[in-house]
């Protein structure tokens, strides 16, 4: 189960508030921009495609919000649904709503749902050797089906600066490693992830490994519009 952000009348107030947000540039922040990812299995076979679009940007008195749509497709380009999520720039940090890791899964038909998150965050500047904050997502279902899902991302560290080669060119990136622990119905799965982040775009490439260090899946940018 895959559990993978105003219009202000007074211009002076608007400028002041936006200037106060200094969360850096390691994320997509141009409205209408679209990034396509190809997803591969452990044998490097294309399994699916996802298309990320920044649909809206909204500014409040305390933060700048970014609202995204992700369109899912199979390996042949057939649509498999969409899901939306938000991220926001607040102070010197950029946050991603952890509920995005629910993907297109709809739990509402299963009963009452409770979601608790400690959202994924990135500082305005990244430094090699830096340790980043943990993040978590807990989902509790009450109803005909009782279910508790707990996902925690820990051990986040900026490992290096590297150049990543993709089908659409080369990108200078920060390499970030992390550990993901998922607990569901008595089962515990631990995975290691490595992600490469580029300025103004976000994640360019990622790889996921099982507890034995074997590659499970990967994704890479295949188009940018």
**pLDDT attached to residue 3:** 36
> Residue 76 pLDDT more than 80?
yes
7-16, 56-65, 92-101, 155-164 — which is least confidently predicted? Answer: 7-16
**pLDDT attached to residue 111:** 63
Torsion of CA 59, 135, 102, 72, to 10 degrees: 70
> Residue 124 pLDDT more than 90?
no
CB atoms within 10 A of CB 98: 22
* pLDDT tens digits, 125-160: 999 999 999 999 988 877 777 778 899 999 999 999
> Residue 18 pLDDT more than 50?
no
The Cα 11–Cα 185 span in angstroms is 52
The whole-model pTM stands at 0.83
* pLDDT tens digits, 162-171: 999 999 999 9
The Cα 181–Cα 211 span in angstroms is 10
At 110, the pLDDT band (50, 70, 90 cuts) reads low
Q: Which of 175, 174, 173, 131 is nearest to 154 (CA)?
A: 131
Domain range 11-224, its CATH number among 2.40.360.20, 3.40.50.1980, 2.60.40.10, 3.40.50.720: 2.40.360.20
């Amino acid at each position: 189960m895959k559990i993978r952000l105003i219009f202000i009348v007074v211009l002076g107030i608007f400028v002041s508030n936006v200037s106060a947000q200094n969360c850096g540039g390691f994320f997509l922040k141009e409205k209408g921009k679209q990034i396509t990812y190809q997803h591969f299995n452990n044998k490097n076979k294309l399994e699916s495609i996802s298309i990320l679009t920044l649909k809206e940007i909204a500014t409040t008195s305390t933060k700048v919000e970014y609202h995204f749509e992700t369109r899912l497709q199979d390996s042949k380009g057939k649509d498999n649904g969409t899901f939306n999520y938000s991220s926001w720039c607040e102070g010197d940090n950029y946050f991603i709503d952890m509920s995005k890791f629910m993907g297109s899964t709809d739990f509402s038909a299963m009963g009452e749902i409770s979601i608790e998150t400690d959202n994924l965050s990135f500082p305005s500047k990244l430094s090699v050797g830096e340790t980043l904050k943990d993040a978590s997502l807990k989902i509790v279902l009450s109803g005909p089906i009782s279910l508790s899902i707990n996902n925690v991302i820990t051990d986040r560290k900026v490992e290096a600066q590297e150049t990543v080669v993709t089908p659409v060119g080369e990108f200078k990136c920060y390499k970030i490693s992390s550990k993901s622990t998922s607990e569901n119905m008595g089962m515990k799965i631990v995975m290691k992830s490595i992600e490469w982040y580029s300025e103004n775009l976000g994640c360019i490439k990622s790889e996921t490994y099982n507890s034995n260090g074997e590659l499970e899946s990967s994704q890479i940018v295949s188009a940018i519009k």
